[in-house]
Amino acid sequence: MEMASSAKWFAVALVFITVILLRVIRGRRMAAAPASEKPPPPVVNGFALLGLLPRLLTMDLRTKINCLHDKYGSVFTVSPFGLTNVTFLIGPEVQSHFFQGLESEINHGNLLEFLVPMFGQEIGQGVDAATRTEQSRFYLDALKQSKLRRHLDPMLQEVESYFGKWGLEGVVDLKHEFEELLMLISSRCLLGKEVREKMFDEFYKLFRDVENGVNMISVFFPYIPIPANRRRDKARLKLIELLSGTVRSRKSSPSVEEDVLQRLIDSKYKDGRSTTETEVTGMIIALIFGGKHTSSLASTWTGACLLTHPKFLAAASQEQKEIMMKYKDKIEYDALLEMNTLHNCIKEALRLNPPTTMLVRKALKHFTVRTRQGQEYGIPKGHTLASPIIQNNYLPYIYKDPEVYDPDRFGPVRQEDIVGGKFSYTSFGGGRHFCSGDAYAYMQVKVIWSHLLNNFDLKLLSPYPKTDWSKLIPEPQGNMMVSYKRRQLLG
């Protein structure tokens, strides 16, 4: 199994090199940057990679990066035979410019071009930087914490209805259950009651076709007419048609709904222009894509960790008893804010299993980094920059026993992520690029696990899941079978 997974990543590496060759031939390489006063980072060239290949082929992705980190330090450039330059930045000390730099200095470039056929030419990577910044403001406004209270009751209704269909006892694949539940919550809170009540099944099917358009081939060749990409394109057009009717109806209606779709419809650009139907549709598809999958995986990994660590399961359950007593068995928004133990359990699960393996940017201007040891390197313009979350979240000088699931590390006594520096914990990004939906994601996962802890005794029947590194977004491998026994009947 290990060799099969490694072979997949080796194949991915070959595809990546092929893509770079094609882009060189097409003249898409950026011009070389002028020399810097500071020395460049150490380079892992093609011949060095070939020397390491026997070891790298037997490792998973995080161990591969750790191997290079141990050998070359916290800043190094991977340059396979001079075809491209990918500079890795490991540790909070060298992350400041990566997360705080201006769009004119560091941005995604064309690295996220594969998202354009998913969300459309009217949003995100399909528009200029200024428009993209304004659209990010729309997201922030729609999901800011002051408006999250309005989502609690719909979330609770979906969660209680879903688990209300479970029997007195049984066995389920918790991974599958969370995928379905999070899609229901997303359709209710993000899209609104029209889609949830009248067209959910159709929306879900179309969205799955768009979602399945994310694969290793489409990342490098987003427009190649493979079956998955053709299904993605057809599904997106049908989604636009489906949602445009709802947007059009909302725009002409005097009533105002309390959901994210309405916020995006009401958003205006600085010049006074309102968002268009196509823009709103693209933004809502992007939100669901980013949020539903992340929250589903966060719920699954939290379950895997809690159900294999009785100490923290007991602590989270005890916290629920105390909070439910205080709030008279009602989950209120303020109650969620007091669930510090559960919050830390989720946060620690995401430290060990972040939503993505690494974040990437493109350096548009030269800049300098200073390592923890005091070494300064000049990072040239044109380099692709990689911040490997799966390595940063395991640094032993920040996190004590980093391989161990220990939510107490985030408690008031230790606060390892704060003591370690501003960018020690980047599972949700950081700085200018901090995920606008992090509070919304925590809220969803807390509502789900609060309900489960208060109503069911759960036992993990499957082994603790391994990470499926073959997926673009790493996820638990296989099923996660759990037995449940209801403690009390829902009223």
Q: How far apart are CA 183 and CA 200, in angstroms?
A: 9
Binding site residue list: 435
Between residues 182 and 251, the one the model is more confident about: 182
The CA distance from 207 to 35, in Å, is: 47
User: Is pLDDT of 55 > 70?
Assistant: no
- pLDDT at res. 334: 94
Split at pLDDT 50, 70, 90, the class of 28 is very low
Cα–Cα distance for residue pair 390/66, rounded to 1 Å: 9
CA distance 269 to 280: 13
Predicted confidence (pLDDT) at residue 233 exceeds the cutoff of 80: yes
Q: Is 27 a residue whose pLDDT tops 60?
A: no
Q: Is there a contact between 458 and 482 (Cβ–Cβ < 8 Å)? A: yes
**Residue 268 CA from chain centroid, whole number:** 27
For the four alpha carbons of 434, 358, 407 and 339, in that order, the dihedral sign comes to positive
Residue of higher predicted confidence among 481 and 28: 481
Least confident of 22-31, 293-302, 316-325, 338-347: 22-31
- Statement: residue 10 has pLDDT above 50: no
**N- to C-terminal Cα separation, the chain:** 46
Backbone angles phi, psi at 257, to 5 degrees: -85, 160
- Tens digit of pLDDT for each residue in 142-173? 887 777 888 899 999 999 999 999 999 999 99
Q: Exposed/middle/buried for 182, CB within 10 Å: 0-12, 13-18, 19+?
A: buried
Cα separation, 390 vs 14, whole angstroms: 22
Where residue 351 falls among pLDDT bands split at 50, 70, 90? very high
pLDDT in tens, 195-231: 777 778 888 888 888 888 777 777 778 888 889 889 9
Q: Which residues are annotated as a binding site for heme?
A: 435
Eight-class DSSP state of 107: E
Residue 51 has a pLDDT of: 59
Dist. CA 360–CA 124, nearest whole Å = 16
**327, pLDDT greater than 50:** yes
Residue 400 confidence (pLDDT) above 70: yes
Average pLDDT across the chain, whole number = 84
Residues in the chain: 491
Closest CA to 417 of 406, 64, 388: 406
Q: Answer whether CATH 1.10.630.10 is correct for domain 36-484.
A: yes
pLDDT of residue 11: 40
Amino acid 17: pLDDT: 41
Q: Given a cut of 60, is residue 323 above it in pLDDT?
A: yes
Chain CA centroid to CA 172, Å: 25
Alpha-carbon distances, residue 291 vs 299, 313, 428 (angstroms): 12, 25, 11
Beta bridge partners of 363: 106
Q: Is the pLDDT of residue 365 over 90?
A: yes
pLDDT value at position 76? 94
Give 52's pLDDT tier (boundaries 50, 70, 90): low
pLDDT value for 58: 59
Predicted pLDDT of residue 255: 73
All structural domains of the chain with their residue ranges? 36-484
- Tokens at 309, concatenated: 């660590």
Q: Phi, psi at residue 434, to the nearest 5°?
A: -70, 140
> Residues near 293 by Cβ (< 8 Å), separated by ≥ 6?
211, 355, 473
Check residue 317 and give its pLDDT.
97
Reported as a pLDDT band with limits 50, 70 and 90, residue 251 is confident
Reading phi first (left if > 0) and then psi (alpha if -120 to 50, else beta), residue 386 is in beta
